[in-house]
């Protein structure tokens, strides 16, 4: 590599790192509690649900139609908006609201909440817990909930919605550029030192450099994967929006303008779940939205199915079942760009390998924080030194640069 090229790579690495450094520190720090959010919630808040009834092993779940009838009996003047079986417990969550219009109005009034939910035991249809109904004071938030929510919003969009998400995605791209340029510089630097060397007997600046290089090399692949998948994840809103205005609109075009039927005259919910499971073999049904839901059909149940293995658990396939007749309309695999988005999520969040993988993700996260801090120290210590002198001080050999007074000052 020529000296001119080395200078350029050094400048690219310096400025891409500085541009994204603060955002990356926020992302790394907020990502740690997000990795263990479930465990943090259990420790500091706990579960105040009543205990499940002890039943013989293998007791089958009741029909979802029975749960629907009980929910309507509790709130006869309201509609059911969705039904979601729990992933880990024998429970079913039923969401309700006064009307679809009330939910739409809530979008413009964050202080209002028209919807509420009821948690049923899936085996007995007994009510386990429910949130406060509409037009009642909201349940007080816990400090744990506030902290976890704050970390999540900072991590995703810096409390700035879609513009913040796009900004975070751009910072992910800058971070990837920083990693690439750092790898190029590290390859030149390591020609003169054994891998893993940390020179503690020289100037402190060289010690910080060696730590920066060592931690950066150790986390390079992980940081590249997490940085790139983070960039992809920040594009989820525009990508799903593109899907809605193209494929979804085309699928629902024949039903546009049809009136939403009364929920008293809809077909069996349990039969819709069974139909969807048969339509997508190997997938499990995770939830059902009733006709009239936003971005849904006025006359269809929309059922979401996903892969049954950990790596396929985020690959969703929607299924439409006619709520008037119970007949299957079709299963519609997502386009390639959404499948690519969904496949990137497990790699970014590290949630497909249980607690051991989350611990590994946390350790690598801490190491990346060390890379960022050491890089900041290196920049702040001698930020006024010329690029050539700084490269020489860091151990690079420049073929057309004579020794300079600044070099001696740098390594002193």
- Which pLDDT does position 167 carry in this prediction? 96
Range of the domain at 324: 235-349
- Among candidate residues 141, 169, 193, the one where a domain is terminated: 141
Per-residue pLDDT band for 382 (boundaries 50, 70, 90) equals low
- Which pLDDT does position 210 carry in this prediction? 85
113 Cα distance to chain centroid: 25
Question: In the numeric block, which tokens belong to residue 357?
Answer: 């993988």
pTM exceeds 0.85: no
The residue count for the chain: 412
- Among candidate residues 310, 333, 349, the one where a domain is terminated: 349
d(CA 361, CA 368): 11
- Which pLDDT does position 36 carry in this prediction? 93
The Cα angle at residue 364 between residues 359 and 365, in degrees rounded to 5: 95
208 and 277 assigned to the same domain: no
248 and 330 assigned to the same domain: yes
pLDDT exceeds cutoff 60 at 269? yes
244 and 172 assigned to the same domain: no
- Which pLDDT does position 405 carry in this prediction? 38
Residue 21 lies in a domain: yes
240 and 343 assigned to the same domain: yes
Q: How many domains does the chain have?
A: 3
- Which pLDDT does position 392 carry in this prediction? 63
Phi then psi for 314, rounded to 5 degrees?
-105, 10
CB-CB contact of 13 with 181 (8 Å): yes
CB-CB contact of 389 with 407 (8 Å): yes
pLDDT exceeds cutoff 60 at 13? yes
Residue 84 CA neighbour count, 13 Å, CB half: 13
- Which pLDDT does position 395 carry in this prediction? 60
Per-residue pLDDT band for 411 (boundaries 50, 70, 90) equals very low
d(CA 277, CA 146): 37
- Among candidate residues 107, 141, 175, the one where a domain is terminated: 141
Strand-pair partners of 92 = 85, 120
Residue 147 lies in a domain: no
CB-CB contact of 120 with 83 (8 Å): no
**Model confidence over 61-76: pLDDT tens digits?**
999 999 999 999 999 9
The owner of tokens 């054994």 is: 194
Contacts of 57 (CB under 8 A, 6+ apart): none
Strand-pair partners of 307 = 283
């Amino acid at each position: 590599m020529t000296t001119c090229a080395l200078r350029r790579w050094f400048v690219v690495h310096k400025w891409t790192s500085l541009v994204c450094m603060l955002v990356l520190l926020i992302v790394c720090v907020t990502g740690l509690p997000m990795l263990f959010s479930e465990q943090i919630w259990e420790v500091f808040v706990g579960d105040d649900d009543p205990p499940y009834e002890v039943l013989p092993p293998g007791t089958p779940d009741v029909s979802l139609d029975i749960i629907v009838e009980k929910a309507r009996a509790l709130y006869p003047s309201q509609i059911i908006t969705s039904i979601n079986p729990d992933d880990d417990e024998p429970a079913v969550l039923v969401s309700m609201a006064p009307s679809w219009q009330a939910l739409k109005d809530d979008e413009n009034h964050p202080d209002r909440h028209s919807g509420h939910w009821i948690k049923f035991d899936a085996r007995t249809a007994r009510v386990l817990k429910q949130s406060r109904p509409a037009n009642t004071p909201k349940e007080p938030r816990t400090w744990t909930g506030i902290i976890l929510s704050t970390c999540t919003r900072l991590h995703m969009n810096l409390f700035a919605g879609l513009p913040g998400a796009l900004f975070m995605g751009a910072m992910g791209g800058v971070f990837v550029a920083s990693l690439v340029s750092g790898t190029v510089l590290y390859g030149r630097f390591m020609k003169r030192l054994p891998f893993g060397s940390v020179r503690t007997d020289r100037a402190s600046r060289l010690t910080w450099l060696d730590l920066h290089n060592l931690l950066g090399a150790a986390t390079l692949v992980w940081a590249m994967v997490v940085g790139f998948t983070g960039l992809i994840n920040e594009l989820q809103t525009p990508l799903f929006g593109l899907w809605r205005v193209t494929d979804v609109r085309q699928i629902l075009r024949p039903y546009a303008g049809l009136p939403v039927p009364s929920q008293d005259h809809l077909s069996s919910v349990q039969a819709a779940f069974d139909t969807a499971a048969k339509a997508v073999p190997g997938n499990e049904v995770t939830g059902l939205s009733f006709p009239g839901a936003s971005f849904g059909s006025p006359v269809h149940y929309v059922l979401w199915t996903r892969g049954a293995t950990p790596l396929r658990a985020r690959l969703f396939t929607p299924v439409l079942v006619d709520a008037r007749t119970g007949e299957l309309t079709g299963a519609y695999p997502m386009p390639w760009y959404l499948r690519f988005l969904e496949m990137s999520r497990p790699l970014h969040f590290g949630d497909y390998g249980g607690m051991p993988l989350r611990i590994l993700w946390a350790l690598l996260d801490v190491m990346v924080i060390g890379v960022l801090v050491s890089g900041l120290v290196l920049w702040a210590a001698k930020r006024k030194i010329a690029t050539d002198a700084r490269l020489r001080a860091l151990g690079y050999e420049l073929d057309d640069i004579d020794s300079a007074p600044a070099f001696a000052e740098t390594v002193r």
